[in-house]
Homo-oligomer: A and B are copies of this chain.
């Protein structure tokens, strides 16, 4: 029989992850800031817990998937927090995109209480979470990663284990999101050039991707840009901004100038300042189109 697993945080990513685990046969406990998000899962067989500590007490593996560093620290620490509730040998799998420094604090705290911490951020948008097509990048003590492995494999199409130090997984996740932001910036500039030259953007995108990158993410992100298909968001602008901010903060600490990250940050920030915070982050390309004197596409 499978381990009991808890999922804390039932947002756009956490909910499909929880449902997939239920579907995979795991006994599941869930907790969320608001009960409403959990109701359907409870009808499908999950058990509700009133606090992170309560969720932790019953489970061998506790997954957290919350909004940001502050939310993760709130869930982990404090009286009814996860660290207090987790049994010895239990494993906390932190899937949120957070700073490496936050992961280091968590790893220390868990070590102090005898439980273990694995950082396991994921690449993929909510619809990929639903289809169990996430890619998980995990790091933590080997035995803990092995405990978590079947659960992580149930969530996605791939799992990369990148060492024993949890913060490494977070750094790679940030590096990956930076590369995606760089791609969006590049596509935004290239497709604006193409547009002002009077060439059909979708044709140009297909040609360039076939000839050069052969990469599905270039195609799908490029199509969003060409079509102005920014709503509903696949990856929301405000979250993209948050992540690039973490990239720059981490780079600052490591003394790594990242001018392209700074450029993308500026364009994401301008997008939010111009009222586009709820759109897909590919709407960043609109800032580039407007700079070229073109009228914005899609919803303002």
Q: Which residue of B lies closest to A180 (CB)?
A: B212
Query: Which one, B180, B182, B216, contacts A182 given CB within 8 A?
Result: B182
In the complex, which residues 263-283 of chain A have their Cβ closer than 8 Å to any Cβ of chain B?
A: 263, 265-267, 269-270, 272-275
User: What are the interface flags for A119-154 relative to B under an 8 Å C-beta threshold, 1 for contact and 0 otherwise?
Assistant: 000010000000000010100000000000000000
Closest to A250 in B: B193
Interface of A is mostly: helix
Known: A185-B260, A250-B193, A260-B185. A160 touches B292 (CB 8 A): no
How close is A277's CB to chain B, nearest CB, in angstroms? 9
Interface membership of A36, Cβ < 8 A: no
Contact A172 B208 (CB under 8 A): yes
Q: Is A168's CB under 8 angstroms from B190's CB?
A: no
Which of B135, B163, B213 is within 8 Å of A211, CB to CB?
B135
Interface check A210, CB cutoff 8 A: yes
A257/B273 contact (C-beta < 8 A), A172-B208, A175-B208, A186-B179 known: yes
Question: A207 and B245: CB pair below 8 A?
Answer: no
A259 to chain B, nearest CB (A): 5
A162 within 8 A of B: yes
Confirm or deny: A74 has a beta carbon within 8 angstroms of a beta carbon on chain B. Answer: no
Given contacts A171-B194, A196-B255, A245-B252, contact A212 B266 (CB under 8 A): no
B residues near A70, Cβ cutoff 8 Å: none
Contact B214 A216, beta carbon cutoff 8 Å: yes
- The answer to whether residues A176 and B257 also contact, given A171-B194, A245-B252 and a CB cut-off of 8 A, is no
Question: B260 contacts A274, CB within 8 Å?
Answer: no
Q: What's the minimum C-beta distance from A121 to chain B, rounded to whole angstroms?
A: 10
Residues of B within 8 A of A185 (CB): 182, 260
- Interface range, A side: 35 or more
Q: Is the pair B172, A137 in contact by a Cβ cutoff of 8 Å?
A: no
Does A187 sit within 8 A of B, measured CB to CB? Answer: yes
Chain B nearest Cβ from A183, distance in angstroms: 7
- Chain B residue with Cβ nearest A275: B293
Given A204-B172, A217-B212, A293-B274, A269 contacting B257 (CB threshold 8 A): yes
> Which chain B residues border A259 with CB–CB below 8 Å?
189, 259, 262-263, 266
- Of residues 210 through 267 on chain A, the ones whose CB sits less than 8 Å from some CB of chain B are 210-218, 245, 247, 250-252, 254-263, 265-267
Interface pairs (17), CB distance under 8 Å? A135-B210, A137-B207, A168-B197, A174-B193, A175-B204, A180-B212, A183-B186, A192-B256, A193-B258, A197-B250, A212-B217, A255-B272, A258-B266, A260-B263, A262-B262, A262-B266, A270-B291
Question: Which residues of A approach B to under 8 Å, CB–CB?
Answer: 100, 123, 135, 137, 158, 160, 162-163, 168, 171-172, 174-176, 178-180, 182-183, 185-187, 189-190, 192-194, 196-197, 199, 203-204, 207-208, 210-218, 245, 247, 250-252, 254-263, 265-267, 269-270, 272-275, 287-288, 290-293
